[in-house]
Amino acid sequence: MGGGNQRRASLHRARDVLLATGISFGTYLTVSLTLYHRFGTSYDLVIFHQAVTAMADGRAPVSELKGAHVFGDHFHPMILVLVPFVLGFPGVTTLLVAQAAALAVAAGILQQTWRDVHGDKAAWLPLLWSLSPGIMAAASYDFHEVSLGAPLVAMACRCFVRERYGAMVVWACLILLVKENAFVLTLGLALALVVRRKWLHAAVLAAVSLFYAAVVLGVVIPHFNNESEYTYGSALDLSEVGAALVRNLVWPGLATGTAVGLLALSGFSALRSPLVLAAASWWGSHLVTDNFRYQFPGFHYHLLPSVVLGFAAIIPMAPLIDRSTARRLIAAWCVLCILLGPATWRVVLTASHRPHDARTAIRMVPDNAYVAADPKLVAQLSNRTQHVTALHPPYLVNGVGRQVRPDYVVVDLSTREYGGGWAHDFVRDRLSSDYELIGSAGGYRVFRRR
């Protein structure tokens, strides 16, 4: 009798985990495909699609849009796992489906771990965390390689919560393959192991992380880079670090506000777990720059720390989930963040786009033509030609500043990219002599090289 009850309980738990995973996947995919069909995606999606397609064809991962080998910009060998899927389904939306699936797997792992610890108590909470701003921002902002790291981070954190430290180190080492700066996160996980007095595990993870970082940043990326350097490292101005820290932490304090908002999703209980050191290390590495995208929760940079915080809160949440007032306050804040989060405002903003005019304009471009277009058009053009690059005004250049001579140019005269207001001058100064207007649709203009 007891065995039957246990089996029913296990089936019930598995059903709920699959349900949460399915809801997460459906939400992520619906948002990303809605933005894609409304021309709300941009060139990052195309860069990855071109790179993965090149590898699927047996070529080096060079992006026409980027104008360079992608491993010379960021080293993310994890994108190799996408090659079989692109071989079977070559469209650019394959990457969006893969991203939604990876994020949903992480959501399912979080749900399973919560139920392992708390059973059915407040089982809706990890689902709300899975739809929180840090994760929905990644789901709604093109495709990025860090999404492939979400399941790995989830597994490493699950192993930490379940006290399986050897397995945790293995999963954490795999995280290094996601992006060259992932070592910052894994060093934070090593610090969490130090707090647990797992000295050997911590030492192994730290040593592997530092060695990997030294090889990738010092040898691998410079090897593939056009300038034989790690661009983002050489761009760091040490004289501005102090000022950047003040701006990010104190005034206007965007980084502090973002961290407080994400920690509040768990009633700040995540602060009581050593895992918070991993999130803090990731955030800390971004405080030395003034790039607001690193601090604002509207982009993919907060995905991995958001996954970590979900697991960090699981055990410390025990006292809070037994208090109805605390549960209601946390739930209210989670729902508010979801409703006002980046995915929501991206969907709302793209409702005013002109998808019919955009589709009419890009249909004037022949298949397999070499085309330069407004960043919001390149993703859909990428389905028809791999020879596509985004406009970089005021010149006709690719992503590394080299002059290009595409056969076709598609301009949105009312574009808001790069601050807007440049399109009319661009057409007059850069296109009028070498290109002829062959069609228009709404505010879009299509030009062909003479």
Predicted confidence (pLDDT) per residue in 317-351, tens digit:
988 888 888 888 998 999 999 988 888 888 888 87
pLDDT band, residue 352 (cuts 50/70/90): low
Same domain, 169 and 122: yes
Q: Is the pLDDT of residue 415 over 80?
A: yes
Q: Is the pLDDT of residue 2 over 70?
A: no
Which stretches of 103-217 are assigned E, i.e. beta strand? none
pLDDT band, residue 304 (cuts 50/70/90): very high
User: What is the C-alpha to C-alpha distance for residues 182 and 209, in angstroms, rounded to an integer?
Assistant: 9
Peptide bond into 366 cis (omega under 30): no
User: CB–CB of 406/449 below 8 Å?
Assistant: yes
Lowest mean pLDDT among 8-17, 31-40, 94-103, 276-285: 8-17
Same domain, 209 and 273: yes
The pLDDT value recorded for residue 81 is 97
Residue type for position 407: D
Does residue 136 fall inside a structural domain?
yes
The pLDDT value recorded for residue 70 is 94
User: CB–CB of 394/353 below 8 Å?
Assistant: no
The pLDDT value recorded for residue 441 is 93
The pLDDT value recorded for residue 234 is 59
- Average pLDDT estimate for 381-404: 80
Does residue 324 fall inside a structural domain?
yes
The pLDDT value recorded for residue 298 is 84
* Chosen domain end from 284, 317, 348: 348
Does residue 407 fall inside a structural domain?
yes
- Average pLDDT estimate for 220-229: 92
Q: Is the pLDDT of residue 235 over 60?
A: no
Does residue 80 fall inside a structural domain?
yes
Query: Helix, strand or coil for residue 170?
Result: helix
Which residue has tokens 């192993």? Answer: 159
Mean pLDDT, all residues of the chain: 90
Pairing of strands 435-441, 444-449: antiparallel
The pLDDT value recorded for residue 244 is 79
Same domain, 125 and 145: yes
- Average pLDDT estimate for 247-268: 86
Same domain, 196 and 292: yes
Same domain, 389 and 342: no
Does residue 55 fall inside a structural domain?
no
Same domain, 339 and 400: no
Instruction: Report CA-CA distances (Å) from 49 to 53, 103, 265, 273, 415.
Output: 6, 18, 34, 38, 23
Same domain, 79 and 28: yes
- Average pLDDT estimate for 84-108: 96
Lowest mean pLDDT among 15-19, 101-105, 106-110: 15-19
Query: Helix, strand or coil for residue 441?
Result: strand
How many domains is the chain partitioned into structurally?
A: 2
Same domain, 305 and 421: no
* Chosen domain end from 325, 348, 371: 348
Does residue 234 fall inside a structural domain?
yes
Same domain, 265 and 362: no
Same domain, 322 and 360: no
- Average pLDDT estimate for 302-317: 95
Pairing of strands 388-390, 68-69: unpaired
The pLDDT value recorded for residue 366 is 93
- 219 versus 290: the higher-pLDDT residue is 219
Which residue has tokens 């939604």? Answer: 100
Q: Is the pLDDT of residue 386 over 90?
A: no
The pLDDT value recorded for residue 3 is 67
* Chosen domain end from 348, 375, 404: 348
Q: Is the pLDDT of residue 201 over 70?
A: yes
User: What is the C-alpha to C-alpha distance for residues 231 and 64, in angstroms, rounded to an integer?
Assistant: 19
Domain containing 235 equals 2-40+74-348
Highest mean predicted confidence (pLDDT) among 181-190, 243-252, 383-392? 181-190
Structure token pair of residue 246: 């003040």
Lowest mean pLDDT among 1-10, 20-29, 218-227: 1-10
Does residue 56 fall inside a structural domain?
no
The model carries a pTM of 0.94
- 297 versus 267: the higher-pLDDT residue is 267
Using alpha carbons only, what angle is made at residue 133 by residues 178 and 279, rounded to the nearest 5 degrees? 50
Does residue 360 fall inside a structural domain?
yes
